C-alpha cells in the first residue's frame, strides 16, 4: 500500500485525489476553529486530534532516543 499526501486548496486536493487510482480508505481534515469573541477569552481548548491512535502508541518513561543510543549496539546484538 502506498500513501499520498495532498496539499493545497480544497479544489486542488479534489483534483489530485481524482488522479490517484485505487481506493480511498481514510481522510484527515483540519478545520480551523473560530477565534474567541471576547478579548479576555483565552484560546479555545484544542482536543487531541490523535487521541484515537492512543491504543496503538507505546509510552515508556525514560527512553534514550538520541541518535547515539539508537545506533549503538547493545549487549547481545
The model's pLDDT over 4-50, given as tens digits with 9 standing for 90+, comes to: 888 888 899 889 888 888 888 888 888 887 766 666 655 555 567 77
pLDDT for res 67:
92
Is this structure's pTM higher than 0.85?
no
Distance CA 6, CA 14 (A): 9
- For the chain, the farthest-separated pair of C-alpha atoms sits apart, in whole angstroms, at 61
Type and span of the H or E element at 75: none
At 2, list the grid cell.
502506498
Count, residues in the chain: 77
Amino acid at each position: 500500500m502506498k500513501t499520498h499526501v495532498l496539499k493545497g486548496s480544497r479544489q486542488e486536493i479534489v483534483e489530485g485525489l481524482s488522479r490517484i487510482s485505487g481506493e480511498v480508505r481514510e481522510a484527515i481534515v483540519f478545520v480551523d476553529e473560530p477565534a474567541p469573541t471576547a478579548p479576555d477569552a483565552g484560546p479555545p481548548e484544542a482536543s487531541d486530534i490523535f487521541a484515537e491512535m492512543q491504543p496503538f502508541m507505546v509510552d515508556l518513561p525514560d527512553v534514550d532516543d538520541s541518535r547515539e543510543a539508537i545506533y549503538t549496539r547493545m549487549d547481545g546484538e
